[in-house]
Amino acid sequence: MFFKQKECEIAKLGEKVLREKAKEVENINSKEILTVIKKMLDCVKRSRGVGLAAPQIFESYQILIISSHPNDRYPNAPLMEDEILINPKIINKSEIIEKDWEGCLSIPGIRALVPRHKTIEVEYTKLDGTKAKVVFEDFVARIFQHEYDHLIGKVYLDRVEDSKEIVSEEVYFKTIK
C-alpha cells in the first residue's frame, strides 16, 4: 500500500502524544488498527529506522514494530524479519544493564548513551491474535525497550544518566564509528 509522505509524518519531541500512555488494542482486526499497522510498516521503511511505535505516527495504541536491518543510521544492526508486537509487556529482564548509543526518529539529530537491560522476556499479541513470548537480547532488546518507552510516555533522553553523554548525530558519526 502506498502512503503519501504527509501521511508518514513522525511525531517530534514536544508533541503531546509522545508523553501519553498508549491505549491497549482491543480489536486487532479492526480496519483502524490494520491501517495503523500498514502505515507503521511503511513509515519505518521510509525513515530507515530499526523500530517504530504507534505514538510516533500520532496513533496512541500499544503497537510497536521491530525492524532491525543494517542501514546508514545503524550500519551494524542485525538483519531480521519485521516483528509486529501488539499490547507488549516486559515480563522478565536481566540484571545486566549496558549503555549503548541510541537515536530516535522523533528526536532527529541527536544520539545518547542509554542504559538498557541486556536481555528481556516479552509477552505480546501477534497480528493473528495469538499470544507469544519471546526473549530479546543485545541490540534487539535495546530496540524493544526504546520503542516500549514510547508506549508508556517516555523517550530515550529520559533514561540518560549524564547529559555529557548526549551528542549531535554529526559528532556521533564522526567520532563513534
Q: What is the pLDDT of residues 115-170, one digit of tens each?
A: 999 999 999 999 999 999 999 999 999 999 999 999 999 999 999 999 999 999 99
How many Å apart are CA 15 and CA 57, to the nearest integer? 11
Domain that holds residue 157: 5-175
Its pTM surpasses 0.85: yes
For residue 3, the model assigns a pLDDT of 38
User: For the domain that residue 36 is a member of, what is the CATH number?
Assistant: 3.90.45.10
Higher local confidence (pLDDT), 6 or 116: 116
**Are the C-beta atoms of residues 18 and 41 closer than 8 Å to each other?**
no
The identity of residue 20, as a single letter, is: E
Domain count, the chain: 1
Select the more confidently predicted residue: 168 or 7.
168
Consult the annotation and say whether 104 binds a ligand.
yes
- The annotation status of 150 as a binding-site residue, yes or no, is yes
Residue from 20, 26, 147, 170 carrying the catalytic annotation: 147
147 part of the active site: yes
